[in-house]
Structure formats: structure tokens, C-alpha cells
């Protein structure tokens, strides 16, 4: 009676370990970008809540925003690179940005955050 092989062979084990290491490396490199984005979203929502009801100007919004970002140690994007402009019904904040991170050797990942547009009503 012939017994069939049971378990994982050496080549299959190497392939599984290689795939797991690639996925783990990507997670280690990309998770901090998303955590910074979540922190930035909460800061922007706090700034909108603080400036609502006040006669907000782009300068006051930028000052409040930079203070909140400094307190929370957010450096994903600087307040100077955000598009903050006055409109007829309030102040709009466009903090859309993209980040590039090296994954392996010359392989980079570009993460684009486009949903970072907020409005401070007057």
C-alpha cells in the first residue's frame, strides 16, 4: 500500500512565507499613512466644529488648524499646502494629498487621499 504525502512541501512553504512577508511589509509601511489620515480627518472635523458660528476667515481657520495639527503631531500635510479659501457661504478647506512610500527596493506605493474637503459655514 502506497502512502500519499501529507503536509506542506519545502517549495510550498517558501512560497507561503514569501507571500506572507510581502503582505506584512505592505501592512507595516501603509498602516501609518492611514492612521495619519484618520487623525487629520478628526482634526479637520474639530476645526470645522470650532469655527462654525464664528465669523471664520481663512487666516483664523489656518491658525486654528495649525495649532490642532501641532498638538496632535500630524505631519502628513502642512497647513500651508492646504487650499483654504473664502466663499460666499463660508470657508472651504481642501486638504487632499498623496503620499509615496518605498515598499521594496525601487517599488513604491502611492496613496491618494481625495476625500479631504470640508466647509466651515458662516
Q: Hey, which residues does 102 pair with through a beta bridge?
A: 108
Considering its fold, how many domains does the chain have in total? 1
Q: Does a structural domain hold residue 3?
A: no
Q: Does a structural domain hold residue 4?
A: no
Q: Does a structural domain hold residue 88?
A: yes
User: What is the pTM (predicted TM-score) of this model?
Assistant: 0.82
Structural domain of residue 15, as residue ranges? 10-121
Residue among 106, 119, 115, 112 nearest 33 (CA) = 112
Helix (H) or strand (E) segment spanning residue 103: strand 97-104
Q: Does a structural domain hold residue 58?
A: yes
Burial of 75 (0-12, 13-18, 19+ CB in 10 A): exposed
pLDDT one-digit tens code per residue, 41-92 = 999 999 999 998 888 899 999 999 999 999 999 988 998 899 999 998 899 9
pLDDT one-digit tens code per residue, 4-49 = 767 778 898 999 999 999 999 999 999 999 999 999 999 999 999 9
Q: Does a structural domain hold residue 71?
A: yes
Q: Does a structural domain hold residue 34?
A: yes
Owner of C-alpha cell 483654504:
84
Q: Read off the DSSP letter of residue 73.
A: T
Q: Does a structural domain hold residue 72?
A: yes
Burial of 104 (0-12, 13-18, 19+ CB in 10 A): exposed
Is there a contact between 116 and 84 (Cβ–Cβ < 8 Å)? Answer: no
Amino acid at each position: 500500500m502506497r502512502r500519499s504525502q501529507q503536509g506542506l512541501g519545502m517549495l510550498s512553504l517558501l512560497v507561503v512565507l514569501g507571500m506572507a512577508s510581502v503582505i506584512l511589509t505592505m501592512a507595516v509601511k501603509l498602516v501609518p499613512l492611514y492612521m495619519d489620515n484618520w487623525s487629520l480627518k478628526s482634526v479637520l472635523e474639530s476645526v470645522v466644529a470650532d469655527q462654525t458660528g464664528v465669523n471664520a476667515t481663512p487666516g483664523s481657520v489656518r491658525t486654528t488648524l495649525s495649532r490642532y495639527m501641532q498638538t496632535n503631531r500630524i505631519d502628513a500635510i502642512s497647513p500651508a499646502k492646504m487650499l483654504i479659501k473664502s466663499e460666499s457661504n463660508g470657508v472651504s478647506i481642501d486638504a487632499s494629498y498623496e503620499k509615496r512610500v518605498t515598499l521594496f527596493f525601487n517599488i513604491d506605493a502611492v496613496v491618494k487621499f481625495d476625500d479631504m474637503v470640508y466647509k466651515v459655514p458662516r
